[in-house]
Amino acid sequence: MIAQGTIVGHRYRIIDLVGTGGMAHVYRAVNLSSRKVVAIKVLKDEYRNDAEFLRRFEREARAVLHLSHENIVRAFDVGETDGLPYIVLEFVDGRTLKDILDENGPMPARIAVALVVQVLDALGAAHAAGIIHRDVKPQNVIVMQSGKVKLMDFGIAREVDANTVTFAGSTVLGSVHYLSPEQAKGLPVTEGSDLYSAGIMLYEMLTGRVPFDGDSSVAIALKHISDIPVPPIELTNKVSPALNDVILRALNKDVTRRYSSASDMSAHLRRALKEPAGDFARFIPAAKPQPQKKPPSSKKTHGAIKIGLTVGALILALVGVFFVLRDVYQNESSDFELVPTLVDRSVEESKQRAENFGFTFEIQDYENSNTVASGDVILQTPEGGVKARRGSTIFGIVSLGPAAPKVPNLIGLSPDEARHTLEETGLALGNVSYRISEVAIGYVCEQSLPPETETKNGQSIDIVISASSETTFDMPYAMDLPVNLILDQLRIASFNNIFVRYAESNIVEDGVVYLQDPLPGTQVLPEVPVTLTVCGKPNYPFTSDIAFNLDVDNSGTKVFAAVLEAYNGLTYYRILFETTLEKGEKVPISFTATSDVEGMREVVLFSDGAVVKRQDFTFAAKES
């Protein structure tokens, strides 16, 4: 393990350990030259003499250094510290898809597809660069708060033309639950192997379970080779027929019957959301040639036989007319029934109600609806109240709920126009930053998600406003400096939206800033929020028990409470408490706060950066 504060490669100072994987530790660090926060992946000490792990680590370094894509964790540098190789990576603030699934279970189809499509975009870029990942699984997918996905851990990746195997006996490279049949057989991998793993991952995201499980790695691997997965549509109603077809095609045992590329699979996933009842994703093998029919006999049919056949046909026709007329008469009197109204009822309720009236119910199609709840019937044919033959089928169109909003084009809009446009679309304005650009000053020059991207209701979109060198300046460097000195610099620069957080750290001395947001050198305006993380914990003599109740609209909402402080003519917020809350009504928040002055003080509650409550609390001396 590397101690906090250690300088690695003469450029990176270790801040803390953020994770441990199968073969490496991952540390958060700061680049001392650029002042950017990075992640450093260091091979574990026990593998320093293991040739296989050293090769795998070197392979990952070679793979990621040659990959540049927004959905792949970027690599900046490689090196060696104390005889152990390391890779310097982009620091991604998010959670693994595995953690999200463990906590929340299966997810809605639109969200699952939106995430997997980004994984496929990453795989497409890797495949185009000649790299096969070979270990696609939820543990290797990071989901950021913005909804952006990052694929990581190319530790067992190989070049497309490499003759490599991944399973032999009881040794498995890659996670066996997501292993392709050819990997399980020890055959060379292809791009289709990654697509199979992506299909397994999507199966789990929608159903809450992997298709194959067992008592041992070998048992699971054998199931990948021989067993047919239970169609996900049989496990959950979240899976439409079209989406079911896409998943099963990706999971075909025969790699030639899977998708030929990540982009093809991605296109079918997007199409499945728009055409949930479509059959476009089914793999249709080439038709077998049919044996030729024997040519008809050249002998003429005997005249008497012809006459007999003609008379028989006439008799059958007359008998048929008799039965048809009789059926029509009887049906008019007894075989017709009033059709029940199924609109606004669930599929299960519609099936039961149709059966009670002597009909059957069948889903004809799925459509988005802003007025009918997801899973309920929007329209039916025939309509309720008319008569139809008893035993016939009532066809229904079922609601998918509101359509996933698409990100509008915000480039060229003013901040107010951007906010209004996002709110009309069902989205929200996120962080606003500034930089010099060719777009007119004061208007949006960049947005965090590209136009036409399908996302979820309430998603925050960050924007960048075009500014000039006269209105913006570089964010000053604050780390490793006393907080009082930084506050003076911010006061001189007219900053007016400052937050100070205190936290214990072994990196620097008490009272010294060791993290800052925005990062040094970022183009900013004086009103941009600035957060300084300071080492230590103030030992103030007065305390107060604070309690709030807050309605939380979205899970993952970041909440913090603060009091206004003053220093040398500058006012700033000192953060008292912070947490992340799940969705709910009147969610309780309670903590004990400290103060350097006695008496009544206003405590301000922030939710996702916005003030939501202000309340006065009395601070008194601590009880001895």
At 98, is the secondary structure helix, strand, or coil?
Answer: helix
Residue 220 amino acid letter: I
Token couple for 403: 């359509």
Q: For residue 467, give the nearest of 437, 496, 446 by alpha carbon.
A: 437
Please state, in angstroms and rounded to a whole number, the distance separating the CA atoms of residues 122 and 127: 9
Sorted by sequence, the CB contacts under 8 Å of residue 608 that are 6+ apart come out as 460, 557, 558, 559
Would you tell me how many other CB atoms lie within 10 Å of the CB of residue 611? 10
Q: Which residue has the tokens 């152990």?
A: 84
Indicate which residue of 121, 135, 194, 376 is catalytic: 135
Q: Using an 8 Å Cβ cutoff, are 400 and 432 in contact?
A: no
300, 308, 309 from 303: Cα distances, Å: 9, 9, 10
Neighbours of 558 (CB within 10 A): 13
Q: For residue 247, which of 188, 187, 207, 287 has the smallest C-alpha distance?
A: 207
Q: Which residues pair with 530 in a beta bridge?
A: 498
| 276 prior amide bond cis, ω within 30 | no
Indicate if 121 belongs to the active site.
no
The shares of helix, strand and coil residues in the chain, as percent rounded to the nearest 5, are: 30, 30, 40
Backbone angles phi, psi at 581, to 5 degrees: -115, 150
List residues with catalytic annotation. 135
